[in-house]
Structure 1
Amino acid sequence: MATSTAPRPLTSGPAPAAPVDLSDPALWTRPDLPAVVDRLRAAGPVQRTGTADDGPVWSVLSYDLAVEVLKDAATYSSEGGSLLGAGAGNTPVGAGRMMALTDPPRHRELRAPATPFLSPGGARGAAPGITELSHRIVTTAVERGEVDLVDVVSPLPLTVMCDLLDVPDQDREMVVQVCDDAFLGRTAQERRAGHQRLIPYLMHQVMKRRADPRDDLISMMATYRIAGRLLPVEDVVLNLDNIVVGGVQTVRHTAVMGLLALVRHPDLWHRLQSGEAAMGPALDELLRWTSVGLHTLRTATRDTVLGGHDIRRGERVVVWTWAANHDPAAFDRPHDIVLDRSPNRHVALGLGAHYCIGAPLAKTELSALFTALLDRVERIEPTGPVQYNRSIINFGLDHFPVRLLARRAHRSR
């Protein structure tokens, strides 16, 4: 279904909210989701929609307008919040102090100390260790046979993050457990308790490494100076916490949702396993197709017009990433997984100033994990129903019980 690009009449006041609540996590689990989103987009690529916690927002459903918003940080600011959930009229903790909640030029300044560790060069340096760890994780899972794939993939990003932070050996088991609780906990209470333990630990490490720096991400952030001044300790901790959240959640949920797609389309699994489809383009296609970071929030800094609608200063604009990445005006056969899709200018990892700083490392981890599974596993058989989480921030699965059937012979890739 083609999306009309004809301008819509300017509204004289707030438009009535659309009946579909895009902030309801249950919507994104519906089997008819593609048809629902296509109908909404056809009705208008920008619509006034209601949310459960944040009041009415302007929802962007088309690819071209999503790009317009994400690239224009001067008009659509991150400082009022980058994700739904803070509540109508509330400013999130860390606004103006965290990478995710700042605009250029401040945003660039905060990214700078972390970039060497998360850049393509940093990811290449870490790749051999990530590959070895992935194979160990998969080998253990294959030996067990029946596993929960969520539990299989989760240790990889957690361990890689501990390496980046150079967590001391004696603290690793505790930090992995705390991170597991903070980011992968099954309930909000578990996640909150994990953060309450992680934040003080990070603060302690920041203070230690400010006095005795090493070659690691904590030390770099702790000793970095902007205009000759060290960042406040609280700001360093907030940004480290933000990096850990993004690094753990993006890899975990994309891996599991990508595997779910491959299990449901065994022909694609075999194309990857045989080498008929290359991992690089396939990985970008799975990122596009899953779009686990379902949305990005911005706040208008001035009166403007978007998709034919008047957007008033202070109003919230939400780019629905999944909808943009499944727009037929931008992607041929958007609801199909096309492993060799090219070009593939998806926005699953953001765009513009806020393009995911950890994208190279995340792709390295995902590639290593998928490759290890393809090497060792002939096929994956579900042994029970999947259980979706209740998140529109990092949409994915809480449970994915399967049986891993080993390949009789596997080759190194």
Structure 2
Amino acid sequence: MSTATVDLTDPGLWARPDVGGIVADLRAQAPVHRTETALDGPVWSVLGYDLGSRVLTDATTFSSTGGSLLGTGGAPAGAGKMMALSDGPRHRELRAPVLPYFSPKGVRGAAQSITELAKRVVEDAVEQGEADLVDVLATVPLVVMCDLLGIPGDDRDLVVAVCDEAFLAQTPDARRAGHQKLLPYLFEKVVQRRKNPADDLISTLATHRIKGRRLPIEDVVLNLDNIVVGGVQTVRHTAAMSVHALMRRPGLWKALAEGADLDLATDELLRFTSVGLHVLRTATTQVELGGHIIEAGDKVAVWTWSADHDPAMFDRPDELLLDRSPNRHLALGVGAHYCVGAPLAKAELKAIYAALLDQVAVLEPVGDAVHNRSIINFGFDHLPVRLRAR
């Protein structure tokens, strides 16, 4: 494939086995490319780590309010109302009530229950003998997120289905339809919690006040929608992609089983998989970036996966080095928009890996892994495996 014809916004590109080489050629040619896209018009694609980090940490020049993801089909309705689509003081105001649920201290309090949940999930899969690992591993972030929000068990299949549709559907209209199914459900819960608050995240946001005024219900619902979808999908796809990578490298699986540092390994698996493929920003003023003049209003997409495989930042970036340190990857963002749920996501991933290592002697594919078709989350629709008990 000629680099001149590469469209990074084509979901089919990311399902190709040679995508790493294609992206590496693009990045070597130039760290910034002008990409003509079918849905978003011209977009500046940032492929290098240094420039990507610069864009993501300079909210004054590169704003989130114009949208944080490509392919959403127009101006975002939640601009200035959602953490993901706000900057500066407004972003901090929206982030503040959520932080205690996802802080390292809060996560430590939930660590035991997350560990036990992961053990039960893996136990059930081992008993089955064969399972689709994507569905199996999705259970952990789903249950954790639903517990945080106070979503009852009977509603959890609905949450998974609409999360898939909202993030992984093929068109902007289909993705909007997914959100439109989740939003009324969340709206109903927010209204209920305003009348009768409980000890959960929905209640906290529903009753939160900024300068004496409660957040509008619309703002509460939009932020909850983003938290639910992002929290479930990121861990689900990182876990499946990570296990797939380890299955193809038995020596690394053995090293983990023999006591390799799980904290370092989790960060390296996050870097290596980088399932959140890109982050979008909008230039607020004319600026030079990678030898190009970016005009105010231009869309700038930082391709996280490419930045996290940049040899200028990472030694042997295409190798999975479980003891890599330091490891300043961008898989969970950087700067003010660093993923609010990062400590929880890492705790869930470590619990999943530990449960698999503790209970599974052999993990092997029993069919082809099927990539999803998305430029938002890089992952699998299906990963059929056989699990043999330790």
Q: Scaled by the length of structure 1, what TM-score is found? A: 0.90
Contact kept in structure 1, 2:14 and 2:373, CA below 8 Å = no
Aligned counterparts of 1:29 and 1:190: Cα–Cα separation in 2? 20
CA RMSD in angstroms comes to: 1.5
- Report whether the alignment pairs 1:28 with 2:10: no
Q: Secondary structure at the match of 2:252?
A: helix
Matched, 1:108 2:92: yes
Partner of 1:180: 160
Choose which of 51, 58, 72 in structure 1 pairs with 2:44: 58
Q: Secondary structure at the match of 2:381?
A: strand
Matching residue of 2:311: 328
Q: Does 1:254 align with 2:238?
A: yes
Structure 2's unaligned 5+ residue stretches are none
For 2:37, what is the secondary structure of its paired residue? coil
Structure 1 residue 226: deviation in Å?
0.9
1:96-123 CA-to-partner distances (Å, cap 9, x unmatched) read 1111111111111100111000111111
SS in 2 for 1:56: strand
State, as a whole percentage, how many aligned pairs show the same letter: 63
The question of whether the paired residues in 2 share the 8 Å contact of 1:19 and 1:49 is answered with: no
Distance 1:377 1:25 in 2: 33
Alignment partners' CA distance in 2, 1:62 and 1:334: 12
Please name the residue that 1:281 is paired with. 264
Q: CA deviation at 1:308?
A: 1.6
SS in structure 2 of the partner of residue 317 of structure 1: strand
How far off its partner does 1:190 sit? 8.3
Picking from 211, 214, 217, the partner of 2:198 is: 214
CA shift for structure 1 position 194: 5.4
Cα distance in 2, alignment partners of residues 353 and 63 from structure 1: 17
- Contact kept, 8 Å, 1:181 with 1:191, in 2: the verdict is no
2: CA distance, partners of 1:386 / 1:190: 24
For 1:355 and 1:196, the matched residues in 2 are separated by 26
Shift of 1:192: 6.0
Q: 1:296 maps to what in 2? A: 279
2:61 aligned partner: 75
- The 5-angstrom pairing of residues 132-211 of structure 1 reads 132-167=116-151, 171-174=152-155, 176-185=156-165, 195-211=179-195
Matched, 1:309 2:292: yes
Q: Equivalents in 1 of 2:149, 2:175: separation in Å?
A: 20
Match of 1:373 in 2: 356
- The reply on whether 1:127 has 2:101 as its aligned counterpart is no
What are structure 1's unaligned runs of at least 5 residues? 1-16, 408-413
Partner of 1:5: none
Note the alpha carbon deviations across 1:112-146, whole angstroms, 9 max, x for none: 11100011111111111111111001001000001
Counterpart code for 1:126: A
Distance across 2 between alignment mates of 1:56 and 1:193: 25
2:135 and 2:293 map into 1 onto residues whose CA distance is 46
Mapped to 1, the partners of 2:104 and 2:38 lie a distance apart of 39
Is contact 2:15-2:372 (8 Å) kept?
no
The one-letter code sitting in structure 2 at the alignment partner of 1:44 is A
Aligned to 2:247: 263
